[in-house]
Amino acid sequence: MSAKLLEGGSIADAIKAEVKETIAQMPQEQRPQLVAVMVGDNPGARAYAKMQRKSCDEVGIVYELKEFDESISEADLIAAVDELNEDGAVDGIILQMPVPEHINARTVQAAIASVKDVDGVNPANLGAVVMGQVEGAPCTAQAVVRLVQETGIDLYGTEVVVVGHSEIVGKPVALLLLDKFATTTVCHIGTSDAGLLEQHTTGADILIVAVGVPGLIKGSMIKSGATVIDVGINRVKDEEGKRKIVGDVEFDSAVEVAGTITPVPGGVGPVTTAMLLKSTLYACQSHR
Ligand code: NAD
C-alpha cells in the first residue's frame, strides 16, 4: 500500500487567496501590518524573515522587520515591544527566534499584547486554546488542525496520538483536537525512555509528530491506514553529503503503511506560513 500524500502547498494557496481577497476589499491605509522583531543577525532568522516578507507581499500585508543589535538588554527590548503594542498601525508582532542567550524569549513573548500576538505564544492566547479557540493558537498548531480537517475525518472518538509536547505544537494541537472529541494521547521523551512510544503510536488513527529527531517514527510504529502529520524539520546530509530536509517520520517505510501522510518539506511548513498571514488579518480585524 502507498499512502495518499497530503500536501500543504494547495491548502496554503487556498488560505492565502482568502486572506488576499479580504485585504483587497479594505481601504489601502487600513491594510494589516505585521512587524517582526529580530535581535542580532542569525542567518536562519533572516531567511525566515525574507520568506515572511514575500508571503506578506503576496497577500497585501504590510511587513516591517525591526532589527535590534544583539547587545540590547531584555528591558530595552520589552520597551520596544511596548511601543509596538501602543502603535495603532501595527496589527501583529512576532519575535524572530533565536534570540541571544541573555534574553528570555518567553518573557519578551509574554510582553506582546495578546491581540497582536499572531504567533500565539502569549500565555493569554495559549490559555484561550484550552477553551478551544483556534484563531489565537500558535500558527503551526493551527496548520496541523487544518491539515487534519482537510482529510475529512470525523474526529469524534478517533484515537489521536501527538508525539512531542512543546508549547507551540504538541500541547496546543492536543488540546484543539481534544476539543473535537478525539481521544488524545501526548507522548514525549519520557514515553520513549519508558519504552512505550511504539505501544502508543501503533494505536493511533491520527499520528502527529513534532519532535525534531529525524526518522524517529518508522513504518512499523504506524497503524495501517492511519493519517500521519509530520511536523519535524531536520537538516541532515544524504549519502553523498548533500544537505536535505527530512521530517521526524521515516518517510519510505511510513508511506507503505499509512493511509495519508504529509511530506517534508511541503507539508506542514507552507500551511504554517499561510496561518501567520491569516492570524495577522484576524488580529487586524479584532483590534481595530
Ligand atoms: P521542541 O523542540 O520544543 O520539543 C521537542 C519535543 O519532542 C519534546 O516534547 C520532547 O519531549 C520530545 N522528544 C524529544 N525526543 C524524543 C524522543 N526520542 N521520543 C519522543 N519524544 C521526544 O518541539 P517543537 O518546537 O515543537 O519542534 C519539534 C519539531 O517540529 C522540530 O523539528 C521543529 O523544527 C519542527 N517545527 C516545524 C514547524 C513547521 O512549521 N513545520 C514549526 C515548528 C516546529
pLDDT in tens, 8-55: 999 999 999 999 999 999 999 999 999 999 999 988 889 989 999 999
Nearest partner of 147 among 176, 118, 186, judged by Cα: 176
Q: What is the CATH number of domain 137-268?
A: 3.40.50.720
Every domain range in the chain assigned CATH 3.40.50.720 = 137-268
Which residue's alpha carbon is at the smallest distance from atom 25 of ligand 1? 166
Query: What integer is the mean pLDDT of 180-207?
Result: 98
Q: Could you tell me the distance, in angstroms and rounded to a whole number, from the CA of residue 166 to the centre of ligand 1?
A: 7
Every domain range in the chain assigned CATH 3.40.50.10860 = 27-113
- Looking at every residue in the chain, the average pLDDT score rounds to 96
From the CB of 234, is ligand 1 less than 6 Å away? yes
Q: Could you tell me the distance, in angstroms and rounded to a whole number, from the CA of residue 233 to the centre of ligand 1?
A: 9
From the CB of 140, is ligand 1 less than 6 Å away? yes
CB neighbourhood size of 198 (10 A): 16
CATH superfamily of 27-113: Leucine Dehydrogenase, chain A, domain 1 (3.40.50.10860)
Q: Could you tell me the distance, in angstroms and rounded to a whole number, from the CA of residue 248 to the centre of ligand 1?
A: 9
pLDDT reported for residue 1: 62
Q: Which three cell numbers stand for residue 226?
A: 492511519
Give the helix/strand (H/E) hosting 281: helix 268-287
Query: What integer is the mean pLDDT of 215-220?
Result: 98
Cβ-in-10-Å burial (0-12, 13-18, 19+) of 154 comes to exposed
Q: Could you tell me the distance, in angstroms and rounded to a whole number, from the CA of residue 19 to the centre of ligand 1?
A: 29
Do 115 and 92 meet the contact criterion of CB atoms below 8 Å apart?
Answer: no
From the CB of 105, is ligand 1 less than 6 Å away? no
From the CB of 120, is ligand 1 less than 6 Å away? no
Q: Could you tell me the distance, in angstroms and rounded to a whole number, from the CA of residue 112 to the centre of ligand 1?
A: 24
Rounded to two decimals, what is the model's pTM?
0.96
Which residues, at least 6 apart from 284, have a Cβ–Cβ distance to it below 8 Å?
Answer: 30, 32, 33, 91, 92
